[in-house]
Chains A and B, each alone.
Chain A
Amino acid sequence: MLNYIIRRALQIPLVLFVLSLIIVGLMQLLSPQQRAAAFITSDKQIEHLDQIIEKYHLDEGFIVQYKLWAKEVLHGNLGFSRISKEPVTATVRKKLPASTELALSAFIPIVLMGIWLGTLAATHRDGLLDQVLRVVAIIGWSLPTFVVAIWLVAWVYGGLGWFGIGRLPNSLLIDLATGNFHPHTGMFTIDGILNGRLDVTWAALVRLVLPATALVIVVSAGIMRVMRSSMLDELGKDYVRTARAKGLPEGRVVYKHARRNALIPVITMAGPMLGRMIGGIVVIELIFNFPGLGEWAAKAALQLDMNTLLAFVLLIGLIMATVNLLVDIAYVVVDPRIRYE
């Protein structure tokens, strides 16, 4: 088991290496001029294209470019982000807490909703509730994240005037920018408490409602579907029948026994769900003007800011690989029948 974990953990750098190879490799499809143009912001700099190519070694071959990049990375320097005008690591440090705050605030509702609704659907199998939930799940699954986000912005924020967009109202951002507020964690809800500024915590919570709702809508449907089918599997098993035959109350059978076992397959969904959540965060942050990693990456993609994109993909790769590893471990822990060699 320990061996397995170590072996898997050692694969993570390999995954990141291959990912960076793929992306730097694809960059070679562009001509040096095209890559240089990404550095240009005004019509006039066209005259200086050659100088830019020279400066950033854009006319070098793949291997040279990759080496240049990798050398920096091994020194802990992920390069300079053109769109945030500072080293990539500095931006990540600032934006990662924002995205984490959003993800965490959506995580619990997603899991609870998914499990609860999935169980509900399974226990009412083929009944009206099951049918309704099934349709709801398919609809939730079908809605593109940006459509959900735009509907929420248009109807709830625009139409009803509720909540707000952005991470904090500008009046509070001024406090932050002028240094009257110390960002310990970078998550405003927590920092508000640490600074004794409950108004900041409250305001941050208010503005998390809409983006988190959007995430819940697009992600929980998947969990619900898995939960439903795994619950059905469990309910059809012998031990459930035995338990029922023994006269155990139905609630106890379902919630104490069947559901606990049905949760195991749901754990395997953690990886894909997190993936869907990360994809969702990119779009949601952009629409709710929530300055996190996703918004940053989306803007970098529009301007072909390679350092930023590479760092983003590698970070996501790292997170996904770690989560997948943890899922595997958790799987063994909850289900001792599984053994990894």
Chain B
Amino acid sequence: MSKGDVLKPKAERWYQSKRFKRFRRNPLAIAGVMILIFFATLAILAPALTADRMGRACLRDLHLGRTEAVTVLRNPLSGAFWRASFAPPKSCYHIPRKGYSPRPKAPSKKYPLGLASGGYDIYYGIVWGARTAFYIGILVVGIVLIIAITVGGLAGLFGGWLDNVLMRLVDIVYSIPSLVLAMVFASIFGRGLAKTMVAIALVAWPIYARMLRGNILLVKSQDYISAAHAVGTGNARLFFKHILPNSIGSVIILASLDIGAIVITASTLAFLGLGADVGYADWGQMISFARSWISNPGGEPLKYWFVWFWPSMAIALFVLGWNLLGDAVRDALDPRS
């Protein structure tokens, strides 16, 4: 693993570095970045892309009329465009329904990707689902880092029995497959996006806590820290000013690149029925809507292909984007190559 050396001051700009050049020349990295840019665009422009099909509650909370919404939300010069893009009301995350029929409806002009079981607009769900995916990924990484910094920091800083106890805890949580443990936690916490995110974060932190602890021990052993200690710099000050900043860089980068894995866990939980509320734009949940329409024994095969195809493609591509990027970054950081 890298040893926190990414963050050492450098004369050259980051984009001039060899590492970045190697990264840039990697076609897989470029593909990953392109995929993520695509999803980020979907996510940011979600209100504009779906202005013509927004639910009533969403329009109400945006203080817009239906016809007005289309013109205003698609005009980057309007304030509403920016408000909706960056701070949309919660109600906009709920997929509007066209009718309530349990039978999926094939793609049509108005609903280009079709309607899922329950009249849910698949196009809307895919577009807003991109927001949800980023949202889950970023927030969970945030929570994971907080836990990892607390646990890894305490262990690395104080060492001794505390270190021992915390690292055993890390071992235990790490030894259980994350999906299994996340499933149990989500079951206890109950349904709801925030609860699911906490459940996922509670199983994802150990590897980063361990990594951070390792980095801290390394930094601590370096001369300038011992020197600072000798000069009488306080423990806390030393920790926050020197040790932490020098150990945390690679942990943050690697944890962020794990968004793909986090989204897999989140969508799996949603698929199992342990995710956000029913109707929330979430790809995993959209596949669970499709559950009973995946195969059509005796009838026309693949008749309802659109109900599972689009959301499953969305998840697969999104995760692929992160993993391509992650793979390239790890490669670029790898001191061996």
State whether A135 and B28 are in contact (beta carbons under 8 Å apart), knowing that A157-B295, A158-B296, A321-B175 are contacts in the complex: yes
Residues of chain B within 8 A of A15, CB atoms compared: 171-172, 175
- Write 25 A-B pairs (CB below 8 A) sorted by A numbering: A15-B175, A18-B168, A19-B176, A26-B185, A26-B188, A27-B188, A138-B28, A144-B267, A144-B316, A146-B287, A147-B287, A150-B287, A158-B297, A158-B301, A159-B301, A160-B301, A279-B180, A282-B183, A283-B179, A283-B271, A301-B186, A301-B274, A302-B274, A312-B184, A313-B184
User: Are A18 and B177 interface neighbours, CB within 8 A?
Assistant: no
Q: Which of A145, A286, A309 contacts B184 (CB 8 A)?
A: A309
Per the 8 Å Cβ criterion, residues 225-243 of A in contact with B are: none
Binding site for A on B (CB under 8 A): 28, 168-169, 171-172, 175-181, 183-190, 260, 264, 267-268, 271-274, 284, 287, 290, 294-297, 301-302, 305, 308, 312, 315-316, 319-320, 322-324, 327
Q: Tell me if B's interface is mostly helix, strand, loop or mixed.
A: helix
Residues of chain A within 8 A of B302, CB atoms compared: 154-155, 158-159
State whether A151 and B312 are in contact (beta carbons under 8 Å apart), knowing that A283-B268, A298-B272 are contacts in the complex: yes
Residues of chain B within 8 A of A165, CB atoms compared: 295
| Per-position binary interface string of chain A over residues 286-311, scored 1 when its CB falls under 8 Å from any chain B CB and 0 otherwise | 10000000000110111010000100
Binding site for B on A (CB under 8 A): 15, 18-19, 23, 26-27, 29-30, 34, 134-135, 138-139, 141-147, 150-151, 153-155, 157-161, 165, 271, 275-276, 278-279, 282-283, 286, 297-298, 300-302, 304, 309, 312-313, 316-317, 320-321, 324
User: Are A282 and B324 interface neighbours, CB within 8 A?
Assistant: no
Residues of chain A within 8 A of B264, CB atoms compared: 144
Q: How far is the CB of A270 from chain B (nearest CB, A)?
A: 12
State whether A316 and B176 are in contact (beta carbons under 8 Å apart), knowing that A144-B315, A147-B287 are contacts in the complex: yes
Q: How far is the CB of B147 from chain A (nearest CB, A)?
A: 14
Residues of chain A within 8 A of B295, CB atoms compared: 153-154, 157-158, 165
User: Are A320 and B177 interface neighbours, CB within 8 A?
Assistant: yes
Closest 3 CB pairs of A and B: A158-B295, A279-B179, A301-B187
Given A282-B183, A304-B188, 10 more pairs with CB closer than 8 A: A18-B169, A30-B188, A138-B28, A139-B320, A143-B316, A158-B294, A271-B175, A275-B177, A302-B273, A309-B187
User: Are B294 and A154 interface neighbours, CB within 8 A?
Assistant: yes
User: Are A297 and B180 interface neighbours, CB within 8 A?
Assistant: yes
User: Are A278 and B294 interface neighbours, CB within 8 A?
Assistant: no
Write the chain B residue with the least CB distance to A294: B180
Q: How far is the CB of B114 from chain A (nearest CB, A)?
A: 15
User: Are A301 and B272 interface neighbours, CB within 8 A?
Assistant: yes
Q: How far is the CB of A94 from chain B (nearest CB, A)?
A: 20
Residues of chain A within 8 A of B322, CB atoms compared: 142
User: Are A147 and B180 interface neighbours, CB within 8 A?
Assistant: no
Write the chain B residue with the least CB distance to A312: B180
Q: How far is the CB of A118 from chain B (nearest CB, A)?
A: 15
Q: Which of B169, B186, B268 contacts A145 (CB 8 A)?
A: B268
User: Are B187 and A302 interface neighbours, CB within 8 A?
Assistant: yes
Q: How far is the CB of B167 from chain A (nearest CB, A)?
A: 13
Cα distance A29–B195 in the bound complex, in angstroms: 12
User: Are B287 and A153 interface neighbours, CB within 8 A?
Assistant: no
Cα distance A276–B180 in the bound complex, in angstroms: 10
Q: How far is the CB of A84 from chain B (nearest CB, A)?
A: 16
User: Are A142 and B320 interface neighbours, CB within 8 A?
Assistant: yes
Cα distance A158–B179 in the bound complex, in angstroms: 27
Query: Considering residues B187, B272, B308, B316, which has the most beta carbons from chain A within 10 angstroms of its beta carbon?
Result: B187
Query: Considering residues B183, B294, B305, which has the most beta carbons from chain A within 10 angstroms of its beta carbon?
Result: B183
Write the chain B residue with the least CB distance to A280: B179
Q: Which of A138, A145, A147 contacts B327 (CB 8 A)?
A: A138
User: Are A316 and B320 interface neighbours, CB within 8 A?
Assistant: no
Write the chain B residue with the least CB distance to A146: B271
Residues of chain B within 8 A of A161, CB atoms compared: 301
Cα distance A126–B189 in the bound complex, in angstroms: 47
Write the chain A residue with the least CB distance to B326: A138
Cα distance A224–B9 in the bound complex, in angstroms: 36
Residues of chain B within 8 A of A283, CB atoms compared: 179, 268, 271-272
Cα distance A99–B237 in the bound complex, in angstroms: 53
Q: Which of B176, B260, B271, B323 contacts A313 (CB 8 A)?
A: B176
Residues of chain B within 8 A of A301, CB atoms compared: 183-184, 186-187, 272, 274
Query: Considering residues A139, A155, A279, which has the most beta carbons from chain B within 10 angstroms of its beta carbon?
Result: A279
Q: Which of B187, B271, B324 contacts A138 (CB 8 A)?
A: B324
Write the chain B residue with the least CB distance to A145: B268
Q: How far is the CB of A148 from chain B (nearest CB, A)?
A: 9
State whether A286 and B308 are in contact (beta carbons under 8 Å apart), knowing that A154-B295, A154-B302 are contacts in the complex: no
